[in-house]
């Protein structure tokens, strides 16, 4: 049986409809048991396709989250968008240990969530990523700039704008945070994007706007608009921050295995941040731990606002409890 056929089987299963219907209740509590291995992804894709809302999956660690994200990517042809939301710092307050690739992934998620999606999104994450506060929607919008095909912009204005956003001018762009200007062509590699954009001008009119491969320089596809987003970790973007769960839409559904375990991990990470903050010797100003990181109690309070699907310890207060009978034999999950 093909994966697409099996995915459709779960979509047609009455259990997916029961879960989706239960989630229509405000602050719904649903418990699923008997899920094994990749089987959870088949159930999740079915529920999301029926529910047509954004769903966030919080796993106990990064490895578990990465495996699930890989499973969910198989269903993108069925009309899902899957994102991975990682942590920025290996160690809090140590900017030299910032993972730039993760900054890009976080920016991509925030950019997508700040826009109305045409298809439901599955966002996969874990405690260390949730422990870091994120820029607010208002701050992200005020520090972003949208270019539209056919409208007028001066090259000098865009040069100044990109410099203000701390983009670096180079001969050829190859990573986020860079731009180049060659005659009437501007290449911009924005944060939150997998590929850079090429903007071609005729006078002050944007005549062409397209993504391209920075290695081959070949076009990938044409676009009608493009939003320039700076590094969301830079100082000018840190004036106002909030929890990632505060950033997402209140209608979002949260999937989680163990709320208390996640809360305890957040508290541990917060304690590490407090110790690092006390040892900072840099003259630069830094946000205090309670502004830059999320404690467990705060996480649980915010979490209570959402509809939740528990896939670990069964909720005593769950409105609906559904049992699956998946099991792992050898290296295969029996669905």
pLDDT tens digits along 291-309: 889 999 999 999 999 999 9
181 vs 168: CA distance, rounded Å = 11
> 269 and 72 in contact (C-beta within 8 Å)?
no
Architecture of domain 145-228: 2-Layer Sandwich (3.30)
pLDDT band at 335 (very low <50, low <70, confident <90, very high): low
pLDDT (tens digit per residue) in 253-304:
999 999 999 999 999 999 999 998 888 876 567 788 988 899 999 999 999 9
Q: Strand 145-148 relative to strand 225-228: parallel, antiparallel, unpaired?
A: antiparallel
Tokens of 102: 């993760």
Helices (H), ranges, the chain? 3-12, 14-22, 39-51, 62-72, 100-113, 127-131, 137-142, 155-164, 244-247, 259-278, 289-292, 296-303
Mean pLDDT of 244-261: 95
pLDDT of residue 141: 87
The CATH code of the domain at 3-136+233-334 is 3.40.50.11180
pLDDT (tens digit per residue) in 79-111:
889 999 999 877 777 766 677 788 889 999 999
Report which of 184, 150, 187 is spatially closest to residue 168, judged by C-alpha positions.
Answer: 187
CB within 8 Å of 279: residues ≥ 6 apart? none
pLDDT of residue 241: 87
Domain ranges of the chain: 3-136+233-334, 145-228
pLDDT at residue 328 is higher than 90: no
DSSP string, 300-311: HHHHTTSEEEES
pLDDT band at 239 (very low <50, low <70, confident <90, very high): low
pLDDT band at 123 (very low <50, low <70, confident <90, very high): very high
| Long-range contacts, stretch 110-113, CB < 8 angstroms, 24+ apart | 110/134, 110/135, 110/140, 110/192, 110/232, 110/247, 111/140, 111/144, 111/192, 111/227, 111/229, 112/81, 112/83, 112/192, 113/54, 113/247, 113/248, 113/249
pLDDT at residue 317 is higher than 80: no
pLDDT of residue 97: 64
Chain mean pLDDT for the chain: 89
> 257 and 159 in contact (C-beta within 8 Å)?
no
Report which of 54, 203, 222, 59 is spatially closest to residue 126, judged by C-alpha positions.
Answer: 59
């Amino acid at each position: 049986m093909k994966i697409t056929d099996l995915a459709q089987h779960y979509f047609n299963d009455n259990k997916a409809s029961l879960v989706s219907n239960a989630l229509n209740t405000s602050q719904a509590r649903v418990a699923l048991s008997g899920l094994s291995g990749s089987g959870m992804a088949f159930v999740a894709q079915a529920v999301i396709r029926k529910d047509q809302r954004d769903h966030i999956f919080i796993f106990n660690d990064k490895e578990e989250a990465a495996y699930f994200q890989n499973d969910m990517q198989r269903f993108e042809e069925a009309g899902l968008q899957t994102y991975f939301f990682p942590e920025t710092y290996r160690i809090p307050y140590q900017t030299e240990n910032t993972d730039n690739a993760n900054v890009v992934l976080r920016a991509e998620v925030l950019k997508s969530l700040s826009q109305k999606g045409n298809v439901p999104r599955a966002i996969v994450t874990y405690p260390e990523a949730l422990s870091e506060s994120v820029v607010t929607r208002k701050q992200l919008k005020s520090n972003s700039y949208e270019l539209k095909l056919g409208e007028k912009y001066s090259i000098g204005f865009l040069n100044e704008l990109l410099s203000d956003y701390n983009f670096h001018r180079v001969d050829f762009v190859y990573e986020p945070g860079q731009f180049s200007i060659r005659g009437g062509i501007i290449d911009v590699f924005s944060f939150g994007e997998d590929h850079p954009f090429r903007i071609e001008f005729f006078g002050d009119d944007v005549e062409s706007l397209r993504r391209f491969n920075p290695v081959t320089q070949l076009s990938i596809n044409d676009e009608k608009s493009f939003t320039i987003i700076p590094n969301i970790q830079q100082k000018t973007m840190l004036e106002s921050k909030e929890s990632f769960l505060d950033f997402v839409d209140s209608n979002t559904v949260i999937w989680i295995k163990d709320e208390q375990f996640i809360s305890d991990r957040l508290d541990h990470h917060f304690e590490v941040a407090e110790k690092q903050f006390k040892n900072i010797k840099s003259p630069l100003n830094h946000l205090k731990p309670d502004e830059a990181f999320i404690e467990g109690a705060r996480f649980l309070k915010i979490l209570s606002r959402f509809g939740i699907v528990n896939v670990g310890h069964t909720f005593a207060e769950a409105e609906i409890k559904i049992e699956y009978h998946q099991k792992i034999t050898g290296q295969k999950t029996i669905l």
